[in-house]
Structure 1
Amino acid sequence: MPDYHALMPPIRIVHRTRLPVAEAWSRLTDWARHGAQVPFTRTTVETAPPTRVGTRFTARTGVGRVTFDDPMEVTVWRPPTEGSAGLVRLDKRGRVVLGWAEIEVRPLEPSGTEVEWREDLRVRGLGRFFDPVVAAAARLLFGRALARLLRS
């Protein structure tokens, strides 16, 4: 299997919010809310709460009969603690969308949170020629979703 991380540099989005770290974490790890922020997408969580390593969910995107699934599994789950960062890693397990995503939340002094969303995204069937287009579209889409999830 190819090393997709080596094929395309990860997408990186940094966002600052006045929300406390715990609230930002809670909003960013509410997987069902993610689908509501991405056009033509709904997210279904397949495992019982609470989220932990092994939690699985699928984002289904499409219109009518033209759809694709983006199944993901939580492979790192480190919620923030008082004064320390939190990190969640999602590995994409689908036939179309491949790669991984990481969301890290860090406390800001004197208050607020810095969020870093990193994603290594590959679409099966699209050659490396399309990587810049995929990355640009993903930055736009995920940047908007991130801002909406953190909106007060």
Structure 2
Amino acid sequence: MARFTVTQGVRAPASEVWAALVDWRRHGDWAPLTTVRVTTSRPGGVGAQFVARTGIGPLAFDDPMTVEFWQPPAGDEPGRCEVVKRGRVVLGRAWFTVVPLPGGTSRVEWGEDVTVTPHRLTRFAGPVLSLAGRAGFGATLRAMAREVEKQNRRPLPPRSA
């Protein structure tokens, strides 16, 4: 198994960060060489399914996922989403938590616990795959944070004289 967790602070409210993260198609804007398509009529909530396709041409693979847990952030309570990966190349689980913080900011914690086929590859290369996962998803979360923060910028109120 390859396991990793990455954390990213975001200068935006948890509700806005959650909305960006569960807009599955947008993940392709942040993750290089990735496109995402939703395969169910309902894109959100338990049972929603989507496929991330990563790579170029014949070197690309599908990563089909199904949402198994869905709890949006509410007030000071964090939100959490968990998916099961059920592809031919990547199997396992992924999850993220969006934690509201003071000042209208939040923190995202993203984790994965996956096996890559052939399985003996994961057994021997697990540490390398974990390192690559941390690096790749770290970059993806930084790109997401930049986009959400940019959208969240509001003009300052005028100063009184």
Moved more, 98-107 or 119-128: 119-128
Q: CA RMSD in A?
A: 1.3
Please identify the structure whose Cα radius of gyration is greater: 2
Q: Does 2:17 match 1:33? A: no
TM-score, normalised relative to structure 1 = 0.90
Cα shift at 1:50: 4.4
Q: Does 2:112 match 1:123? A: no
Q: Secondary structure at the match of 1:51?
A: coil
What is the rounded CA distance, in whole Å, between the counterparts of 1:115 and 1:66 in structure 2?
30
Confirm or deny: 8 A CA contact 2:76 2:100 kept in the other structure. yes
2:84 aligned residue (91, 107, 132): 91
What is the rounded CA distance, in whole Å, between the counterparts of 1:67 and 1:18 in structure 2?
34
| 1:3-152 alignment, distance < 5 Å | 7-8=1-2, 10-125=3-118, 126-151=121-146, 152=149
- Structure 1, residues 102-141: CA drift from partner, whole Å, max 9, x if none? 1101111243101111111221111411001111111111
TM-score, normalised relative to structure 2 = 0.85
Percent of aligned pairs with the same amino acid: 43
What is the rounded CA distance, in whole Å, between the counterparts of 1:44 and 1:111 in structure 2?
31
Confirm or deny: 8 A CA contact 1:90 1:100 kept in the other structure. yes
For structure 2, the 5+ residue unaligned runs are 150-161
For structure 1, the 5+ residue unaligned runs are 1-6
Moved more, 118-127 or 15-24: 118-127
- Aligned amino acid, residue 60 of structure 1: R
Confirm or deny: 8 A CA contact 2:43 2:49 kept in the other structure. no
Greater helix percent: which structure? 2
Instruction: Give the aligned partner of residue 4 of structure 1.
Output: none
Runs of 4+ that moved beyond 6 A: none
- Structure 1, residues 78-117: CA drift from partner, whole Å, max 9, x if none? 0111111100001001011011111101111243101111
Q: Secondary structure at the match of 2:44?
A: coil
- Call closer, same or farther: CA 1:59–1:83 in 2, change over 3 Å: same
